[in-house]
Amino acid sequence: MEKVGRFRSPRHYFGSGLVKTIEMHVFVDASQSAFASVVYWRITYEDGDVQVKFVCAKTKCAPMRTMTIPWLELQAAVLGMRLMDTVRQHHSVAIAETVLWTDSKTVLRWIGSTHRRYKQFVGNRVAEILESTKVAHWRWLPSADNVADDATRAQRSVDLSEESRWLRRPAFLRRPAGSWPGTAPTDEGDAEDEEEMPSEFVLVGASDPFISLQRFSSYRRLLRTTAWVLRFIRQCREQRDELENYGLSVAECEAAEDFPDEAFPDEMQPAEKGLDVAKRSDICGLAPYLYANGVLRAYGRIDAVLCIPYSARRPVILSHRHGLTGMIVRDAHVRMKHQNLDATMAEIRTRFWITRLRRELRSVISGCSECKLRPLPEDRLDANGWPFKSTGLDYFGPLLMTVARHQE
């Protein structure tokens, strides 16, 4: 509190020279605790001198409801856009250029994407951002150069002097624009995008290409295609096997099903270190651990039953939001001959543990054309038949029956 009381911020923006151009630079950042935005003027004088002046900043605490880091970074981008509009409204200076900086490539891909097939949370905020900014206004920079990072991280000693990084920097803005770090957003995106990649792509390896899910209507065809791609990658790396002279092996098909799920970013780090995930996590009760290629598997007491396959004892954990989930559930529904929920769920869990599986399976069954058109038994369609002419009864026991005022 004593440092805050001594805090002083110079409010004069311009020096004695003639101003050539004024640029506005907005930095945004987020963490699990807060998200923030800070605005600077970049003033270029006629003599070539460049000065960077602090304008204003705003910080908000993260919501009580748990949110992923990409969502919080998107919230920070919205905060920066709103702060930019406020500065424009309350200043009459002519702004030559506006640049908004973020260290989240996920947010840049959301903003720069051309198809914009997003969920409601992301879609609404991206639409609001694009109402006041253009895609070209946004750029990426490393976290070490992001000044807004100072407002979102807990620090024991805070430098509030007039020469601090918060008031005078970032230093790279005093250099020519060609030497600035980072890039502008593109539609290529990055693998960390948790909204777009699971709905369209399946990752077949840590450094391997993507396969579009939209080209496949069958999970089996997708699985075999992925297995062939993995074999091609191994052969390019000169990792050949004598058995690869023939068709696909069972091991290759099983390896094709080991794909990482980007829906659990907060669980990856504890699982990799062998620690327990947060109690609020959807997979807390599954004791997840990190398997090869970044795959999360479940672990439990059933692991002691060695007579069942390894995939059934330690199934791959998938989110119901994953793009492959619907294909896996539909494939199991067809292979199980359109049986009831429990039978199909038991079949799926021999390889995968899908969150909210019962709801997903009901959705698949409700949209199944064969289940809708399944005919009734012929004995129920007889005309002019007596009620209950044909009746089925499932017997189970023991049954208690009253005989002469006592039960047997």
Q: How confident is the model at residue 213 (pLDDT cuts 50, 70, 90)?
A: low
CA-closest candidate to residue 140, choices 169, 174, 99, 102: 102
| 243 has a pLDDT exceeding 90 | no
Res 28: pLDDT: 92
Strand ranges in 270-404 using DSSP code E only, listed in sequence order: 289-290, 296-297, 316-318, 352-354, 402-403
Confidence category of residue 399, pLDDT binned at 50, 70, 90: confident
Q: In terms of pLDDT, which residue wins out, 85 or 306? A: 85
163 — pLDDT class (breaks 50, 70, 90): low
- pLDDT tens digit sequence for 164-212: 777 766 788 888 888 888 666 655 444 334 444 333 444 444 334 456 6
Yes or no: say if 97 and 42 are a contact pair by the CB < 8 Å rule. Answer: no
pLDDT (0 to 100) of residue 26: 92
Q: What is the pLDDT of residue 160?
A: 67
Torsion-angle region of 362 (φ positive above 0: left; ψ -120 to 50: alpha; else: beta)? alpha
pLDDT at residue 361, rounded to an integer: 92
Q: What is the largest CA-CA distance in the chain?
A: 114
pLDDT confidence of residue 193: 41
- What pLDDT score does 197 carry? 38
Cis peptide before 70 (omega within 30 of 0): no
**For range 327-344, the mean pLDDT:** 89
Which two structure tokens, joined as six digits, stand for 403?
């005989």
pLDDT band at 79 (very low <50, low <70, confident <90, very high): very high
Q: What is the pLDDT of residue 76?
A: 92
Mean per-residue pLDDT of the chain: 79
Residue 143 scores a pLDDT above 80: yes
CB 203 within 8 A of CB 210: yes
pLDDT tens digit sequence for 255-313: 777 766 666 777 777 777 777 788 878 788 888 887 766 788 888 888 888 888 888 88
Residue range 124-142: mean pLDDT, rounded:
90
Q: Percentage of residues in the chain with pLDDT exceeding 90?
A: 12
CA distance 104 to 126: 14
Candidates 1.10.340.70, 1.10.3720.10, 3.50.50.60, 2.160.10.10; CATH matching 197-369 = 1.10.340.70
Residue extent(s) of CATH 1.10.340.70 domains in the chain:
197-369
How far from 98 is each of 23, 87, 132, 179, 354, CA to CA, in Å? 6, 11, 11, 17, 45
How far, in Å, CA of 100 to CA of 107, rounded? 12
Q: Where in the chain is the domain with CATH 3.10.20.370?
A: 16-179
Average pLDDT of the segment spanning 145-167: 72
Is the pLDDT reported for residue 1 higher than 60?
A: no
Q: What is the pLDDT of residue 205?
A: 42
Q: How far is CA 210 from CA 226, 321, 331, in A?
A: 9, 18, 21
Cα 325 to Cα 339: distance, rounded to the nearest angstrom:
18
Quickly state the pLDDT bin for 333 (edges 50, 70, 90).
Answer: very high
Q: Which DSSP string corresponds to 237-302?
A: TT---GGGGSS--HHHHHHHT----TT-HHHHHHHHTTPPPPTTSTTGGG--EE-GGG-EE---GG
Residue 142 above 70 pLDDT? yes
Q: Where are the beta strands (DSSP E) in 46-173?
A: 50-61, 97-102, 138-140
Position 116 scores a pLDDT of 64
Among the residue ranges 121-125, 259-263, 343-347, 354-358, the one predicted with the least confidence is 259-263
* 389-398 tens-digit pLDDT: 777 776 677 7
Residue 282 vs residue 62, higher pLDDT: 62
- What's the mean pLDDT in 323-334? 88
CATH, domain range 16-179? 3.10.20.370
State pTM to two decimals: 0.47
271 CB-near residues (< 8 Å, 6+ apart): 277, 288, 289, 290, 296
Question: Among 255, 117, 239, 249, which Cα is nearest to 187's?
Answer: 117
Q: Between these two residues, 95 and 258, which has the higher pLDDT value?
A: 95
Burial of 385 (0-12, 13-18, 19+ CB in 10 A): exposed
At residue 202, the pLDDT reads: 43
Percentage of residues of the chain with pLDDT beyond 70: 79
Question: Beta strands 316-318 and 352-354: pairing type?
Answer: parallel
User: Which residue spans within 13-63 are E strands per DSSP?
Assistant: 19-30, 34-45, 50-61
Site of tokens 């805070």: 158
